[in-house]
Amino acid sequence: MGDYAFPPPPVVALATTSGRPFPVRRIFCVGQNYSEHAREMGGDPDADPPFFFTKPADAIASGAVIPYPPATFDFQHEVELVVAFGGGGRDIEPGRVDELIFGYAVGLDMTRRDLQAAAKKKGRPWDMSKGFDFSAPCGAITPKAETGPLAKGAIECKVNGQTRQRGDLSDMIWKVPEIVRFLSALVEIKAGDLIFTGTPAGVSPVFKGDDIEATIAGLRPLTIRIG
Ligand code: MN
């Protein structure tokens, strides 16, 4: 080992408010986890257990500017609470989830909505509408030791100073312990994994030059410009 065909890619890492960076392993995302957003997407908030999709770890964007992506005319923001894991396991009981959480951050599940709508219509996968380059801007992680378990608090997204999304973490259909119970029944969660926990209503398109400010009470805000 060590003599690779080419240099291996660098570890993707997120800043933390406590010092040492957090190495990212995988990114899981929950779909339609706030009732009003589920309705605006044409879903039924009461219908099903949570469903998941993924983004590659190197979709993380922690710079101040992300490029407007190719192949879309409808590039949309989704502000989300991000849960970062310092431990993991399979079939995790809700009562054990808190001890496995390293911390929380503000994230944006950036979406090529036109590609997603086309994929939904044909029953095709969402990868190219959700998991493209720079599709996962994420702010610094605040350790759980500083926040406690985050179950309520304002979550908001402004574009050029105007509020587009506003909700409360307590409005989640599936709370974090339940999300982890379902996800860990599908895959073994490991340290370094992130879960984007869904977005409140009000998703809308952004354009080159727009400034996005995503905030969650108690966490470091995330601000990015579309370049
Ligand atoms: Mn989302």
Predicted confidence (pLDDT) per residue in 142-175, tens digit: 999 999 989 999 999 999 999 999 999 999 999 9
Residue recorded with tokens 């905030």: 215
Which residue has better confidence, 85 or 35? Answer: 85
Q: Domain limits of the chain?
A: 13-226
Q: Which residue type occupies 105?
A: A
Q: Give the ranges where the chain is alpha helix by DSSP (H).
A: 35-40, 97-100, 113-122, 127-130, 144-147, 176-183
d(CA 43, CA 116): 14
- Computed over every residue of the chain, the mean pLDDT equals 96
- Confidence band of 39 (pLDDT split at 50, 70, 90): confident
Residue 146 alpha carbon to ligand 1 centre in Å: 25
Q: Which residue type occupies 192?
A: G
Contact (Cβ atoms closer than 8 angstroms) between residue 71 and residue 43: no
> Does residue 69 register a pLDDT over 90?
yes
Handedness of CA 128, 178, 82, 192 (dihedral sign): negative
CATH superfamily assigned to domain 13-226 = Fumarylacetoacetase-like, C-terminal domain (3.90.850.10)
d(CA 200, CA 41): 11
Residue 1 alpha carbon to ligand 1 centre in Å: 38
Residue 173 alpha carbon to ligand 1 centre in Å: 13
- Among 33-37, 104-108, 118-122, 163-167, name the one with the lowest average pLDDT: 33-37
Specify the pLDDT at position 173: 95
Contact (Cβ atoms closer than 8 angstroms) between residue 72 and residue 114: yes
- The token duo for 153 is 């608090």
Count of Cβ atoms closer than 10 Å to residue 52 Cβ: 15
Predicted confidence (pLDDT) per residue in 43-66, tens digit: 877 768 899 999 999 999 988 999
Specify the pLDDT at position 37: 86
Residue 2 alpha carbon to ligand 1 centre in Å: 37
Specify the pLDDT at position 41: 86
Specify the pLDDT at position 1: 61
Residue 92 alpha carbon to ligand 1 centre in Å: 23
- Segment 102-115 mean pLDDT: 98
Residue 196 alpha carbon to ligand 1 centre in Å: 7
Predicted confidence (pLDDT) per residue in 186-214, tens digit: 999 999 999 999 999 999 999 999 999 99
